[in-house]
Structure 1
């Protein structure tokens, strides 16, 4: 496996020594899920890209504090790259911001969710029978942190997971796309740090509920195994 990770953010300096970046968090998770091979990480916020995407089996787009619909120059450059990758049928994995950006490139509507922030541990239902069968259950719990959502299923894709809070929680195209709103790469301590940092964006009752949800465990590793199978064509 040769994976290109487009890292679309830089972490708060307070946690860089522990987590390095979203690219490294994904590398660790996918290796735990059985991935073997090369992982090349490029930070798009600094204009860092590979000379060519051709050598890679897949490209993974991480999350970001930026809006996928932003007019920031680096986001517009990334959007152009993603549109080219889609046209070439390169395998893509999108997470949170990446999930939203790919949907935008496919013509779907993305924006601020009227229901507000989704954060902490959240429940989702698999709508794709093959994923429910692979996971051995119909529901999955994952860590999330987002105020934007994909409002409609992108044309030509299949709904993979949903929830009452986030109807288009995951979508895909067999053999080409695997996109998901929550963060399989997050761990509880990092989610707690993000919640504390954004505490003033939530009401106190909502903050406490998000924080308490972190004690119940999550299924990030199970989703990472699905990503590895997707990259390997299984």
Structure 2
């Protein structure tokens, strides 16, 4: 795929999950969810989709044409040895060596950590589903993206849905957010690698549908589902702030988060 001259920026979504029936019906697929959350007008950006879960990867000769990559969440284990996961790890190592911007979300956060030398595995405290307050670390080292994070509130609520977590970040990485449940909610390497354990792209309806599917699969207990739903009824995730964080990382421009961001005690 050759880049067209009218586009100023080009991004790729490395989709590590298959579209649910709900997301296909309501949004046209996860690709539209991500572009809706992090994209701009078509006149200034081009977004490409690669379904890595089905073995579809970008041409290695075209990687240089991209300004950034996003690795999505997935029902698969980031520490698994499926062929596509191993190929994804190699791709992420390549992008790291090229100093390309890579944003990893949930599974993407974990597999990015694994690919670059960190450790991931099953959470000892079990599933984390629903809204979670994430605390932003303020005393991080100098770098342009992190300077923008200094303008953030000290804590933000985000949608979580995971049973795996990062045990140890790669060498040279900094943990820049944590929660009462998970020690590594965000990590960075310089200004070109960012991992986020939660889902800044999710809306509450997507999570509610995901909870339904997990219940139908007997993957979670009904008490956990009811607790997650009850929290969604009284508070909202700070989606606007999270989207601005991701945009600032991917694109280098920054719009301050609204002062009326939600806060939660969890």
Task: Provide TM-score, normalisation by structure 1.
Answer: 0.92
Residue 146 (structure 1) aligns with: 162
Helix, strand or coil: the match of 2:134? strand
Residue 202 (structure 1) aligns with: 220
Stretch of structure 1 that moved more, 193-202 or 59-68 = 193-202
Residue segments in structure 2 that go unaligned for 5+ positions in a row? 1-8, 140-146, 254-266
Asked if the contact 1:23–1:62 (Cα under 8 Å) also holds between the matched residues in 2, the reply is no
Following superposition, the deviation at residue 36 of structure 1 comes to 4.5
Following superposition, the deviation at residue 184 of structure 1 comes to 0.5
Helix, strand or coil: the match of 1:227? helix
Following superposition, the deviation at residue 75 of structure 1 comes to 1.1
Following superposition, the deviation at residue 32 of structure 1 comes to 7.0
Distance 1:220 1:32, change over 3 A: farther
- 1:47 paired to 2:64: no
- For the aligned residue pairs, the C-alpha RMSD in angstroms reads 1.9
Residue 151 (structure 2) aligns with: 134
Q: With CA pairs under 8 Å and 6+ residues apart, which has the higher RCO, 1 or 2?
A: 1
Residue 21 (structure 1) aligns with: 29
Residue 104 (structure 1) aligns with: 114
- 1:211 paired to 2:219: no
Asked if the contact 1:127–1:161 (Cα under 8 Å) also holds between the matched residues in 2, the reply is yes
Residue segments in structure 1 that go unaligned for 5+ positions in a row? none
Following superposition, the deviation at residue 88 of structure 1 comes to 1.6
User: Hey, what's the Cα distance between the residues in 1 that align with 2:44 and 2:210?
Assistant: 30
Asked if the contact 1:6–1:23 (Cα under 8 Å) also holds between the matched residues in 2, the reply is no
Following superposition, the deviation at residue 190 of structure 1 comes to 0.6
Residue 226 (structure 1) aligns with: 245
The alignment covers a number of residue pairs equal to 232
Helix, strand or coil: the match of 1:230? helix
User: Hey, what's the Cα distance between the residues in 2 that align with 1:222 and 1:32?
Assistant: 16
User: Hey, what's the Cα distance between the residues in 2 that align with 1:229 and 1:13?
Assistant: 31
User: Hey, what's the Cα distance between the residues in 2 that align with 1:218 and 1:11?
Assistant: 22
Distance 1:157 1:128, change over 3 A: farther
- 1:116 paired to 2:126: yes
Q: Residue 16 of structure 2 is aligned with which of 8, 14, 35? A: 8
Kindly provide the CA deviation profile for residues 55-103 of structure 1, in whole angstroms up to 9, marking residues without a partner as x.
Answer: 1111111111111111111111111111111122111100001100110
Aligned 1:159-178 pairs, distance under 5 A:
159-178=175-194
Kindly provide the CA deviation profile for residues 183-222 of structure 1, in whole angstroms up to 9, marking residues without a partner as x.
Answer: 0011001100111111233333222111111121011221
Asked if the contact 1:128–1:161 (Cα under 8 Å) also holds between the matched residues in 2, the reply is no
4+ residue runs over 6 A deviation: none
Helix, strand or coil: the match of 1:49? coil
